[in-house]
Amino acid sequence: MARKRWTRRELLLVLNLYCKLPFSKFDSSTPEIIQLSSVIERTSGAIAMKLSNFASLDDSLPQSGLANASRLDKEIWKEFTDKWGNVAIESEELLNQLTNEKPVSDTEIPLDSNRETEKTSIQKTRVGQQFFRSTILGNYHTRCCICGLPIPSLLIASHIIPWKVDAVNRLNPHNGMSLCAIHDKAFDRGFLTLDEEFRVVLSADLSYFSDESIERFFIHYQHKPIQLPEKFTPKQDFLEYHRNQVFL
């Protein structure tokens, strides 16, 4: 029997799952893989193998993926990493169509325009932010990478270079970290950053606040390394920008 060729639609859905699933879960028994297998009518083993094919194309991974990625695998991966946007949104829109989900994100965007083109643009922004949030939280095992808080509703997919500053890397997973609401706001306002070894560095401005809560939420983590993700480690170029342009 001839082997069924993978379609672009199927590969986009697998790539979407690749982004959101930690490398350690690339196994046919993983519920998310089993769920996707029922949707695209592929075996969970075939999807696990295809995830490993994508892993072989990911130069940022310390582990090795499964060789023999197809030409179409390579084309989609290149398209994804060249712009970090269009393919991510396309894959997320496909997923939403299959699951009938409405996009949610960390940033509230009003959708009250009467102009159809503006509505479409805002909707795509929401879809992109949903992809980014799911990808970041998934790779950090739904925990704050500084304090370990595991409550999803209190976690933010925090941009290292702010959303408004760098449009190209808005959806680049290397430009994000999973932070609790307190540490996200502190990072965003420049009260903390990370050094070249991914250790927490605190701003001297925090010394103006003498309180037990400063010790508990900030001083306790000074010079300690964050919990790194299994994929999409924060890019040092982005952290350097944060240290130079945002950190107080």
**What average pLDDT does the segment 29-33 reach?**
96
166 and 235: one domain? yes
Compute the CA torsion angle 125, 131, 135, 136 (nearest 10 deg): 20
Question: Are 16 and 79 contained in the same domain?
Answer: yes
In a shared domain, residues 145 and 234? yes
Our count of domains for the chain comes to 2
- Is 134 contained in some domain? no
Token reading at 26: 């690339």
* Residues 207, 145 share a domain: yes
Q: What are the tens digits of pLDDT across the range 111-167?
A: 455 566 667 778 899 999 999 999 999 999 999 999 999 999 999 999 999 999 999
Please list the residues that pair with 200 across neighbouring strands: 194
Q: Is the pLDDT of residue 18 over 80?
A: yes
Whether the Cβ atoms of residue 230 and residue 60 lie closer than 8 Å to each other: no
Six-digit token string for 216: 């508990």
Q: Answer yes or no: is 129 within a domain.
A: no
CA distance 198 to 184: 16
- 112 inside domain: no
Q: Is 151 found in the same domain as 82?
A: no
Give the Cα separation of 180 and 244 in Å (integer).
23
User: Among candidates 219, 124, 212, 221, which has minimal Cα distance to 179?
Assistant: 221
pLDDT for 117? 65
pLDDT tens digits for range 162-192: 999 999 999 999 999 999 999 999 999 999 9
CA 124, CA 117: separation in Å to the nearest integer? 11
Contacts with 241 (C-beta within 8 Å, 6 or more apart), sequence order: 160, 161
Q: Please report the pLDDT score of residue 1 as a whole number.
A: 46
User: For 112-136, b where at least 16 C-beta lie within 10 A, e where not — what string?
Assistant: eeeeeeeeeeebbbbbbbbbbbbbb
Distances (CA, A) of 50 to 38, 54, 71: 15, 6, 13
Domain identity same for 146 and 66:
no
Same domain, 145 and 67: no
pLDDT tens, residue by residue, 43-64: 999 999 999 999 999 988 877 7
**Residue 77: partners with Cβ closer than 8 Å, 6 or more residues away:** 15, 54, 57, 58, 69
User: In degrees rounded to 5, what are phi and psi of residue 156?
Assistant: -125, 135
Structural domain harbouring 180: 140-245
pLDDT for residue 123: 86
pTM score, whole prediction: 0.89
On whether both 153 and 81 belong to a single domain, the answer is: no
What does the alpha-carbon distance between residue 17 and residue 121 come to, in Å, rounded to a whole number? Answer: 24
In a domain, 113, yes or no: no
Q: Is residue 76 located within the same domain as residue 157?
A: no
What pLDDT, on the 0 to 100 scale, is given for residue 229?
A: 94
Q: 45, 66, 87: which is the final residue of a domain?
A: 87
CB atoms near residue 145 (< 10 Å): 26
pLDDT value of residue 219? 96
Q: Which of 54, 87, 120 is the last residue of a domain?
A: 87
pLDDT tens column, 60-105 = 887 777 778 999 999 999 999 998 889 999 999 999 998 876 555 5
User: Whole-angstrom Cα distance, residue 49 to residue 6?
Assistant: 12
* Contact of 44 with 29, CB cutoff 8 Å: yes
